[in-house]
Amino acid sequence: MENDYFRKSVEFLERGKKEYEDGIKERDTIKIREGCEKIFHSFVELSNGILREHGIQLPTNHKERSKVLDTFGLDTTYDWIKERLHDTCYYGEVIDTKWLKKAIDTVEEEINRWRSR
């Protein structure tokens, strides 16, 4: 991981996980939601890093991002993570920890996978 987007993806993930976990312990739904939003944003930063590494202009919206991530086989993953963490948890206020954990784990796995390249 060389570019600043990759560094920020890790930082957003770490901060988001802490806020999410603190929110679970404290039964604070705002912390849980904010943590999920930061974790989702960590995936956005990761995708920015991938795109920049390949000289691709950064998208201006979610649909464009999903379309360009198809090049790297990440479009479905992005859409799924966005739906769970951003749309459903953050905006929809639906908190299902087992359901969210799968998305959080996937974000972390993808960051680690791209870091090890």
Q: What is the domain range of residue 47?
A: 4-115
pLDDT score for 3: 82
Question: Taking the complete model, does pTM exceed 0.85, yes or no?
Answer: yes
Q: Once rounded to an integer, what is the mean pLDDT over residues 93-110?
A: 96
Q: What pLDDT digit, counting tens, does each position of 6-48 carry?
A: 999 999 999 999 999 999 999 999 999 999 999 999 999 999 9
Q: What pLDDT digit, counting tens, does each position of 77-96 carry?
A: 999 999 999 999 999 999 99
Q: Which two tokens stand for residue 67?
A: 């379309």
Distance of CA 111 to CAs 31, 59, 95, Å?
Answer: 22, 19, 23
Number of domains in the chain: 1
Q: Which two tokens stand for residue 81?
A: 């993570």
Q: 36: domain CATH number? A: 1.20.120
